[in-house]
Structure 1
Amino acid sequence: MLDKKKLFVVIAALMTGSAALLAFIAISLSVEKVLLVGIFVALGIIMSAVIYGVVSSMVANSSVNEILPNEAVPEVKAVPEIQAAPAFEPKSAQTLMILQKKGRLIDFLQEDVSGFSDAQIGNAVRAIHSGCREAITEYIKIEPVRHEPEGNDVTVEAGFDPSAVRLTGNVTGQPPFRGVLRHCGWRVVKTSLPEISGGQDLSIVEPAEVEIL
C-alpha cells in the first residue's frame, strides 16, 4: 500500500529543489531568462501538486479497500449453525416403553437381584421372557443372519459383511474360512411400532403410579 507521508516528503523535496535552482539561475542569468525558467518551474510545481492530489486520493481509497490485481475477492461463507443432538431417539424410547409394558423388562433390569435365590430369579425371568417375546413378535420382525443350525460347520466366503458375521478363534489368511457356527445372529426385517400421538411424552417409558386412598 502507498505511504502518504513518504509521498509528501518526496514532493516537498522536489519543490524545495526547484526553488533553489530558480535562485541559482537568477544570480547567473538575465532577468528575462529567469522569468522563463521560473514559469517552467512553476508549471512543474503545479503538476507536482496535481499528481500529489491524485495519488493521495488513491492512497486514501486503498487504505479502506486495498485492491488486489487479477485476484478475486474471496467469498465469506457463513458458518453453518450446529444443531444440538436430541436428548433421545423417540423410536428407541418407544421400544423400551413396549418392552416395559409387556414384560416389565426395565423393572427387572433396575432391580438388584444379588440377594434373590436362583428359584426367585427363575420365576421372574419366566414372566419377563413371555411378555418381551410377545412384544417383539407383535411389533418387530426378526430373522437369523445364518440359517444353518448352530454347531454345524459353515463356510464364510470372500466378500462377507463384517457387520453381519463376526469371526473368532484362529483367524489367519484370507477367505473363504471354515468354522463352526456358534450363534446364528439376528437381523431386523421390519418394524411396525404404533403411531406416536402428538401430546405423548416419549421420555416417560413408564408413568409413576399413585394409588389414591
Structure 2
Amino acid sequence: MTQKIQPVSFISRFFGAFGQFFKYMGSGDYAARCQHVGQGELLAFEAEPKVITKEVEIIREVEVASPTLDTVNEDGAHQLLQLLQQEARFIDFLQESIDEYSDADVGAASRQIHAGCAKVLKQHFTIDVVSLDVVNSAVENSRVEVPADYDAKQIKLEGRVEGKGPYNGTLIHPGWKITETRLPKVSDTDNLTILAPAEIEV
C-alpha cells in the first residue's frame, strides 16, 4: 500500500528551504536524489510491495468416529470392577487421596495392586497384540509400512499424514485386543452394583 504524504505548512517550508538549499549545494548525491524525485520517480517508501510466496505443508488428521451403541450392558463393567476390588483393592486405591503419602509408600502399594490386577486379567481375559501383518512381528521403535487400505480402528497414525498411502513410520505401541473373555456367569445381577460390601467387625 502506498504511504500517503502529509502536506507541509508554509512556515515549515520557509525555514526548510534554507536548510535544503545548503544541503543541495554541499552534496552531489543528495542533489541527484532530488532530481530523481522531481522527475516523478517513486520514493523508497512508495515502492511497490514485494510479493513473497511460500509453500505450506498440508497436514491431514485422520479422525475415527467413536462407536455408537444402541444399548449399554452395565453388568459386565460392574462385574469387572468387583473382581478388581476383590483381588487388588482397586477401588480403595483410587478413592483414597495419595497426596500425603511418599513415593516409596505409593510404590509399595502399587506392587500389590499391580499383582492383583494382573491376576484378574490373566484369569478372565486373553489379551494379545493387534493381529495385523503391520505390527504382528514388529517390535517397538522399529520401522513399519502401513498399507493404503489400513483399518483406522486398529491402527492410529500420528504426526504428518499426507497422501493416500502406503505410509512408513515408527511403531510406538503394538496395541492390545481381547481375544477371549471368561467372566463368571451370574444369575442375580441386582448385586453387581455393590462393588464391595461394608465390612464390620463384631
**Partner residue in 1 for 2:157:** 167
Give the TM-score normalised by structure 1: 0.56
Match status 1:181 vs 2:198: no
Contact 2:75 2:189 in 1 (8 A): no
2-structure distance, mates of 1:187, 1:174: 26
1:105 aligns with 2:95: no
Identity of aligned residues (%): 39
Query: What are the within-5 Å matches in structure 2 for residues 53-132 of structure 1?
Result: 89-132=74-117
Runs of 4+ in 1 over 6 A off after TM superposition: none
- Contiguous gaps of at least 5 residues in structure 1: 1-84
Secondary structure, counterpart of 1:201 in structure 2: helix
Q: CA RMSD in A?
A: 1.9
Q: Tell me which of 115, 122, 134 is aligned to 1:137.
A: 122
Give the CA deviation at 1:174.
1.4
Correspondence for 1:152: 142
Change (3 A) 1:132 1:199: closer
Q: 1:155 to 1:199 in 2, by over 3 A?
A: closer
**1:200 shift after superposition:** 5.2
**Distance in 2 of aligned mates of 1:164 and 1:104:** 32
- 2:193 paired residue number: 203
Quote the Cα distance in structure 1 between the aligned partners of 2:166 and 2:85: 43
Q: Give, in whole Å, the separation in 1 of the partners of 2:99 and 2:164.
A: 46
**Partner residue in 1 for 2:50:** none
Aligned equivalents of 1:115 and 1:172: distance in 2? 48
Between the two proteins, the alignment pairs up a number of residues equal to 128
Which protein has the larger Cα radius of gyration, Structure 1 or Structure 2?
1
Larger helix share, 1 or 2: 1
1:198 offset after TM fit, Å?
2.5
Provide the C-alpha distance between the structure 2 equivalents of 1:128 and 1:176, rounded to a whole number of angstroms: 42
SS in 1 for 2:81: helix
The higher-RCO structure (CA 8 Å, 6+ apart) is: 2
